[in-house]
């Protein structure tokens, strides 16, 4: 193409471009300065923060260079932004020693690097993460290493995504560059009750070290996820080593529209595939499903409770029934337990039953053993049973006392004899109590009498 043709084409293109821009469109673009447009946006964003009368829950991540410590965790901070320029905050987490902290301070959407949410007076909750002091919760040799740094958190956040009438607002720390998310919560929400509800869900689903791993499926690949109880999960391909191939990814759980959501801090890219960052819990089938791709799941390591039970019994472990935990035994079972305990006390005032445990005895047997106090000393009495496993049930058949003192107790305390030879000598179904994510609690129900049930605790 020669220069004359090129010049002609450029001139034509420019003429068409100018013709396409009407004077009114030029006015729309250039009538207001950049500062004026930014002020308008800041006003709109302020209104979007205050229009959630219930408030917002913030998923807050401080900066960390060691995700094994408290700085590597996420924290929930409740916010209610008021139109008078005040913000009410509440948190109840490890950073606040698991006690309720609340404060009211000033807030504003300022115009700096775009619209920026600023907590522009001291706020106890936000300040916990921005105060450059040593963190008194880090262990051992690391207990004095944060002086002058603290949690290295932010108190000003660039508002990068603020959809109109949206359930979420995305923020980015102005100094640290970490993304934080706000989730809208319903009007009338009690902040402490919300946090307690989230904690209850976490405590039911994610249990200390047991099970150690869960199963994740994403992009057709299977992964293991471990240490979920720490809220700093490690994700790694199934069949590989978690240390060599694992990716640490903290997460937080929030609640929105009566559903629980698990959202990882980071979205992981694997072989050009973007893994799911957020999952929603479905209580009907006890799984987490990807929010944008429901084929991605997080599910329990065990698909039934009895497999876990047998695995642990075979390893020499045991499961307890706690007599005084009336919320985890049926009323009928509690009556049997109370009668046994009262019978022991009638025999000797210093006797008091604490718990009953089941453990393995040989290849095809089990022992139901109760623990009681004799003054300040703990005593144990065991009774042997043969067992027959059938699917998710086990039939227990009483054989004899484990030792002579057990026989003596049965002969002198009728309620103990009833408990051991009748109540516990029958067929029971073993199933999840609340969730298969937590098989440390298993519900045991008599096949011939559903009113007899209790929960055994690993």
H or E, element range at 126: helix 124-130
Supply the pLDDT for residue 69: 74
Number of other CB atoms surrounding residue 50 within 10 Å: 17
CB 417 within 8 A of CB 410: yes
Q: What is the mean pLDDT of the chain?
A: 88
* pLDDT tens digits, 176-194: 999 999 999 999 999 999 9
Pairing of strands 101-106, 56-60: unpaired
Same fold, 38-193 and 305-457: yes
Supply the pLDDT for residue 452: 97
Higher pLDDT, 230 or 67: 230
Supply the pLDDT for residue 23: 44
**What CATH number belongs to 38-193?**
2.40.128
* pLDDT tens digits, 89-104: 999 999 999 999 999 9
Overall average pLDDT of the 283-311 stretch: 95
* pLDDT tens digits, 45-65: 999 999 999 999 999 999 887
CA distance 97 to 383: 44
End-to-end CA distance of the chain: 81
Supply the pLDDT for residue 139: 65
Spatial CB neighbours of 255, under 8 Å, sequence gap ≥ 6: 185, 194, 197, 198, 201, 261
* In the chain, where the domains are located: 38-193, 206-299, 305-457
Supply the pLDDT for residue 307: 95
Supply the pLDDT for residue 325: 64
Question: CB-side exposure of 106: number of CA atoms within 13 Å?
Answer: 5
Overall average pLDDT of the 24-47 stretch: 69
> Which of the residue ranges 119-123, 322-326, 334-338 has the most confident prediction, judged by mean pLDDT?
119-123
The percent of residues above 90 in pLDDT, for the chain, comes to 69
Helix axes 404-412, 331-347, angle to 10 degrees: 100
Higher pLDDT, 133 or 209: 133
Instruction: Please give the C-alpha separations between residue 91 and each of 40, 83, 139, 295, in angstroms, as whole numbers.
Output: 32, 21, 22, 34
CATH topology (fold) of 305-457:
Lipocalin (2.40.128)
Give strand pairing partners of 273: 270
Considering only 141-150, 207-216, 243-252, 369-378, which range has the smallest mean pLDDT? 141-150
Higher pLDDT, 247 or 261: 261
């Amino acid at each position: 193409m020669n220069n004359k043709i090129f010049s002609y084409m450029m001139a034509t293109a420019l003429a068409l471009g100018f013709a396409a821009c009407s004077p009114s469109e030029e006015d729309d673009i250039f009538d207001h300065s950049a500062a004026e447009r930014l002020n308008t946006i800041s006003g709109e964003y302020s209104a979007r923060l205050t229009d959630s009368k219930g408030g917002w829950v913030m998923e807050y991540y401080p900066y960390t260079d060691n995700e094994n410590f408290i700085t590597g965790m996420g924290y929930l901070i409740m916010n209610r932004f008021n139109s008078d320029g005040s913000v009410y905050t509440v948190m109840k987490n490890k950073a606040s020693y698991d006690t309720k902290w609340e404060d009211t301070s000033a807030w504003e959407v300022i115009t700096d690097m775009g619209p920026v949410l600023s907590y522009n007076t001291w706020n106890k909750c936000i300040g916990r993460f921005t105060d450059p002091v040593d963190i008194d919760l880090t262990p051992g040799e690391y207990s004095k290493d944060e002086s002058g740094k603290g949690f290295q958190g932010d108190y000003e956040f660039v508002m990068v995504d603020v959809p109109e009438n949206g359930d979420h607002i995305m923020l980015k720390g102005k100094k640290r560059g970490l993304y934080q998310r706000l989730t809208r919560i319903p009007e009338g929400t009690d902040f402490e009750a919300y946090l307690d509800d989230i904690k209850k869900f976490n405590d039911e689903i994610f249990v200390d070290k047991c099970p150690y791993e869960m199963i994740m499926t994403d992009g057709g690949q299977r992964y293991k996820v471990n240490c979920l109880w720490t809220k700093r999960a490690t994700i790694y391909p199934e069949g590989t080593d978690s240390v060599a191939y694992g990716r640490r990814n903290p997460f937080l759980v929030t609640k929105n529209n009566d559903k629980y959501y698990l959202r990882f801090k980071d979205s992981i890219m694997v072989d050009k595939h973007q893994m799911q960052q957020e999952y929603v819990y479905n209580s009907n089938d006890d799984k987490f499903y990807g929010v944008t791709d429901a084929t991605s799941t997080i599910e329990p390591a065990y698909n039934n409770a009895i497999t876990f039970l047998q695995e642990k019994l075979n390893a020499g472990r045991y499961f307890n029934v706690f007599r005084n935990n009336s919320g985890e035994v049926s009323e009928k079972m509690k009556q049997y337990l109370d009668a046994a305990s009262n019978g022991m006390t009638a025999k000797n005032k210093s006797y008091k039953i604490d718990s009953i445990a089941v453990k393995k005895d040989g290849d095809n047997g089990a022992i139901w053993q109760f623990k009681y106090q004799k003054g300040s000393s703990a005593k144990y009495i065991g009774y042997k049973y043969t067992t027959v496993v059938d699917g998710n049930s086990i039939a227990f058949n009483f054989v004899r006392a484990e030792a002579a003192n057990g026989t003596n107790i049965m002969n002198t305390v009728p309620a103990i004899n009833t408990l051991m030879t009748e109540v516990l000598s029958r067929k029971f179904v073993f199933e999840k109590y609340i969730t298969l994510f937590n098989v440390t609690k298993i519900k045991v129900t008599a096949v011939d009498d559903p009113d007899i049930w209790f929960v055994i605790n690993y």
